[in-house]
Amino acid sequence: MMEKFDVHILGCGSAIPTGRHLPTTQVVNFRDKLFMIDCGEGAQLQFRKQRLKFSRLVSVFISHLHGDHCFGLVGIISTMNLLGRTAQLHLYLPLGGTEVLKPMIDYFNREMTYEVVYHEHDTRKQEVIYEDRSLTVETIPLCHRIPCCGFLFKEKPNPRHINREMVDFWKVPLYELERLRRGEDFVTPDGTVVPNERLTKPADPSRTYAYCSDTAFHPAVAAQVLGVDVLYHEATFGEDNRNRAKETFHSTARDAAEIARRARVKKLVIGHFSARYEDESSLLREAEEVFPQTVLARESLVVSVG
């Protein structure tokens, strides 16, 4: 069975609140570690409602410093302090973000039970800002009114699966297995080379998730998210508001679908819906015309990656 790689939608509205959507927040569950992407007002309430565990949250990535993407930060950080968290929390902010948010976080958390580690990223660069044994996260430069980037979650290459029968047949010692998983051949004591493919089965494919919000239609994105399993792309407006999208540096549903089509992704999720849409069926229709494998984000939706 593949290890967990899910995206939880906690909010997929835009700046003006509605009764239907919360502002943008997502949580990536990668092998039971939780990575939050953006943190709109109410994120901690929805986090709790969706039965996610604060203790599993390791990092928060903020795409840009518009309120609907970060007003929930000080709340969730304060709550974890009240709960007595001890593990570090890593906070990834656009350049200058620390200066804006840290004073507020510090004021309301004078005695802190854990450390918030501040990192800043240059939203104009495409670079790896997080890496562990099995995952990297890199920035995706976007085109918005203020510096803004998306995030590309890439699972590292998985180990190949041992073919138990063949390994027994060739009497491969236990300490050699790790090398086989990495794809190396086996050499018997008498010098025979057994090709790796005879001893192992292919690794599970490495899975990828790309988050792109907020942005005007920005074709350069397609190159960076080429072939990802799941692309979340903002679709604030429909074609009825194409001019408004242009003015505000947002995308239409069709723009989002066009990026997905060019990048040949497996699945597109659209969100960041303007408050003016009573339901988003027209946005879905417009996206599907360009890219059929589209779904609408909604609160509590869980999307499996890969």
Nearer to its own copies, 106 or 279 (CB): 106
Query: Amino acid identity, residue 214?
Result: D
Amino acid identity, position 18 = T
Q: What is the CA radius of gyration of the chain?
A: 22
Backbone torsions φ then ψ of 281, nearest 5 degrees: -65, -35
Note whether 75 binds its own copies by CB under 8 A.
Answer: yes
Q: Which amino acid is at 220?
A: A
* Contact partners, residue 281, CB within 8 Å, separation at least 6: none
Q: Strands (DSSP E) along the chain, which ranges?
A: 5-11, 25-30, 33-39, 57-61, 89-94, 116-121, 128-131, 135-141, 149-155, 161-162, 186-187, 193-194, 200-201, 208-212, 230-234, 267-271, 294-296, 302-304
Nearest distance from residue 91's CB to its own copies, in Å?
Answer: 16
Q: What is the three-class DSSP state of 75?
A: helix
Please check whether residue 73 is in contact with residue 62, taking contact to mean a CB–CB distance below 8 angstroms.
Answer: yes
**305 closest CA partner among 270, 274, 279, 266:** 266
Q: Which amino acid is at 263?
A: A
3-state secondary structure at position 302: strand
CB of 74 to its own copies, least distance (A): 6
Least Å from the CB of residue 70 to its own copies: 9
Shortest CB 76 distance to its own copies, Å: 9
Rounded to the nearest whole angstrom, what is the least distance from the CB of residue 107 to its own copies in the complex?
5
Nearer to its own copies, 74 or 257 (CB): 74
Q: Report how many residues bind its own copies under the rule CB under 8 A.
A: 28
Among the listed residues 8, 64, 66, 267, the single contact to its own copies using CB under 8 A: 66
Stretch that binds its own copies, among 30-38, 71-79, 208-216, 253-261 (CB under 8 A): 71-79
Min dist CB 19 to its own copies, Å, is 5
38 prior amide bond cis, ω within 30: no
With binding defined as CB under 8 A, does residue 206 bind its own copies? no
Which one of residues 103, 183, 205, 292 is an interface residue with its own copies (CB under 8 A)?
103
**Contact residue for its own copies among 1, 32, 82, 278 (CB under 8 A):** 82
68 part of the active site: yes
Q: 6, 32, 68, 240: which one is catalytic?
A: 68
Q: What is the DSSP letter of 273?
A: B
- The residue from 2, 104, 220, 223 that contacts its own copies (CB under 8 A) is 104
Residue selected from 100, 128, 187, 226 as contacting its own copies according to rule CB under 8 A:
100
x/- mask, its own copies, residues 3-32, rule CB under 8 A, reads: ------------xxxxx--x----------
Which residues does the annotation mark as catalytic?
A: 68
Interface contacts to its own copies, rule CB under 8 A: 15-19, 22, 41-42, 44-45, 48-49, 65-67, 71-72, 74-75, 78-79, 82-83, 100, 103-104, 107-108
